[in-house]
C-alpha cells in the first residue's frame, strides 16, 4: 500500500520505559523493518536513544542537564546506538547507513538537495538510512530539537508516503487514557485544529497524552507535504508491518495531497525563476510528450545566473516557456556541460550531481 516509509522510534519505545536500550525490542523492530524491506519497500528509520545510550554507557553520571553535557551523552551514545542497529539489521542481511542532520541541513537549499540525493542513493542501493539529529554539534539555533519534527522533515526530504510515529501510547486519545477511563482512541484525524492542539498540548502539563504536542506538529508538516501519518504504539504486535500494509492501527492522519502534487505546487508558487535553459527540439519533445527529465545533452544555451536548487524556465529559442523546474546544477556548471552526454559530467566538472539537469519530479511541464 505504501512504498516509502519513515519510521520514527522514540526513546521510550527503544528502552521500553527503562533506563537502557532494549535489545530484544530493537531486534523485533529490525525484524519488522526487514520484512518490509524484503518486500521491496523503502524504509527510513529515524531513531532516538543516543542520549539514553550514552547515559547508560557512562553508568548514569550525575551531570547537570546543560547543553554540552547532553551533547557529550549523545556523542558517546550515538555510535553505540548505531552499532546496535547495524548488528540487528545484519541478522536480516540488510546494510544500514547513518545520517545525522540538523535543521540547517534542511533549510539551506543546496544542503537540502545534497541530503536528498544521499537518501536517494542509499535507497537505490537498498541501504536502510538510520537518521538522528546531529546532537553532538547542533547548537540551539540550528537544532530541530525533537525527533518528531525531525522525522517529518525527513519524510518531506525523501517524499515518503507514510510517516509512522511510534510511541508508548496507542495513538491520540480524546483524553488522557492513563487517568480518564472514558478516554477513547481517535482512529482518524482530518484537521489538526486548535481544539486538537489543546488536547495534545495538555500532555506537557502532565494531564494529557505524553509528547503528543510535537507529534501533532510533525503530523501537520508531513500531511501538508503529502505524507500520510500514523501515530501508534511501538510495542503493539507487528505494528510497523500492519501500518505500512494499510491495516488500521493507532491514529491516522490522511495526507492532503500526494508528495508529487505538493512539490509541484511548491515549484509553481515558489520563487520566480532566475534563469532560462534553451533546449533543442528533441529535448522539448522528451519533456512535453514523454514525461522525461531534461538532460544536459538537450540544453543549447543557459541564460542568467542561478545556483543548484533554484527555479528556472525551460524553452526553445524564441518559443514559449515549456516548463518550470528546479535545477540540479548551477548556471556555471550547466554552461560547461550543456550539449554533453551525462556520463561526461563528472569528467568536465570534477564532480557530479547525477545524470539529469532537471528531474521530471522537480518540473512542471506547461500545456
Among residues 86, 146, 168, 257, which is the contact residue for ligand GLU, using CB under 6 A?
A: 146
**Span interacting with ligand GLU, options 112-120, 130-138, 197-205, 356-364, rule CB under 6 A:** 130-138
Strand partners, 4: 42
Among residues 48, 71, 106, 151, which is the contact residue for ligand GLU, using CB under 6 A?
A: 48
The answer to the question of residue 15 lying near ligand GLU (CB under 6 A) is no
Q: Which residue has the cell 531486534?
A: 27
**Span interacting with ligand GLU, options 129-137, 230-238, 261-269, 335-343, rule CB under 6 A:** 129-137
Among residues 102, 147, 167, 169, which is the contact residue for ligand GLU, using CB under 6 A?
A: 147
Nearest-approach distance from CB 338 to ligand GLU, in angstroms: 43
Binding mask 52-91 toward ligand GLU (x if CB under 6 A, else -) reads ----------------------x-----------------
Nearest-approach distance from CB 209 to ligand GLU, in angstroms: 16
Among residues 133, 176, 228, 333, which is the contact residue for ligand GLU, using CB under 6 A?
A: 133
The answer to the question of residue 49 lying near ligand GLU (CB under 6 A) is yes
The answer to the question of residue 135 lying near ligand GLU (CB under 6 A) is yes
Q: How far apart are CA 240 and CA 242, in angstroms?
A: 5
Question: How many other CB atoms sit within 10 Å of the CB of residue 197?
Answer: 15
Nearest-approach distance from CB 121 to ligand GLU, in angstroms: 24
Nearest-approach distance from CB 49 to ligand GLU, in angstroms: 5
Question: Which CB atom, from 48 or from 158, has the smaller least distance to ligand GLU?
Answer: 48
Residues in touch with ligand GLU (CB under 6 A) = 10-11, 48-51, 74, 132-133, 135, 146-147
Amino acid at each position: 500500500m505504501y512504498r516509502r516509509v519513515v519510521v520514527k522510534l522514540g526513546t521510550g519505545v527503544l528502552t521500553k520505559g527503562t533506563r537502557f536500550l532494549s535489545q530484544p525490542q530493537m531486534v523485533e523492530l529490525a525484524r519488522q523493518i526487514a520484512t518490509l524491506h524484503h518486500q521491496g519497500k523503502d524504509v527510513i528509520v529515524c531513531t532516538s536513544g543516543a542520549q539514553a545510550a550514552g547515559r547508560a554507557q557512562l553508568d548514569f553520571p550525575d551531570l547537570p542537564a546543560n547543553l554540552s553535557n547532553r551533547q557529550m551523552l549523545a556523542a558517546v551514545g550515538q555510535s553505540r546506538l548505531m552499532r546496535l542497529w547495524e548488528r540487528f539489521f545484519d541478522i536480516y542481511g540488510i546494510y544500514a547507513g547513518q545520517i545525522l542532520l540538523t535543521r540547517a541541513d534542511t533549510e539551506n537549499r543546496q544542503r537540502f538537495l545534497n541530503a536528498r540525493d544521499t537518501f536517494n542513493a542509499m535507497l537505490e542501493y537498498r541501504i536502510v538510512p538510520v537518521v538522528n539529529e546531529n546532537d553532538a554539534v547542533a547548537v540551539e539555533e540550528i537544532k530541530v530539537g525533537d525527533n518528531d519534527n525531525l522525522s517529518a522533515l525527513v519524510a518531506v526530504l525523501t517524499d515518503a508516503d507514510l510517516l509512522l510515529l511510534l510511541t508508548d501510547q496507542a495513538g491520540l486519545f480524546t483524553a488522557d487514557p492513563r487517568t480518564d477511563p472514558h478516554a477513547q482512541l481517535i482512529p482518524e484525524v482530518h484537521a489538526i485544529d486548535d481544539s486538537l492542539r489543546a488536547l495534545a498540548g495538555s500532555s506537557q502539563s502532565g494531564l494529557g497524552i505524553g509528547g503528543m504536542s510535537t507529534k501533532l506538529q510533525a503530523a501537520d508538516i508531513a500531511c501538508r507535504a503529502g505524507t500520510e501519518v500514523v501515530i501508534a504504539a511501538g510495542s503493539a504486535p507487528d505494528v510497523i508491518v500492519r501500518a505500512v500494509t494499510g491495516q488500521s492501527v493507532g491514529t491516522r492522519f490522511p495526507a492532503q495531497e500526494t508528495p508529487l502534487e505538493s512539490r509541484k505546487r511548491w515549484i509553481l508558487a515558489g520563487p520566480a525563476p532566475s534563469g532560462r535553459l534553451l533546449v533543442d527540439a528533441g529535448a522539448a519533445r522528451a519533456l512535453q510528450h514523454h514525461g522525461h527529465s531534461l538532460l544536459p545533452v538537450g540544453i543549447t544555451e543557459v541564460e542568467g545566473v542561478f545556483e543548484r536548487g533554484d527555479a528556472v524556465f525551460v524553452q526553445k529559442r524564441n518559443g514559449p516557456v515549456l516548463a518550470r523546474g528546479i535545477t540540479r546544477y548551477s548556471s556555471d556548471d550547466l554552461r560547461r556541460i550543456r550539449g554533453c552526454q551525462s556520463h561526461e559530467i563528472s569528467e568536465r566538472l570534477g564532480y557530479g550531481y547525477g545524470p539529469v539537469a532537471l528531474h521530471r519530479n522537480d518540473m512542471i511541464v506547461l500545456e
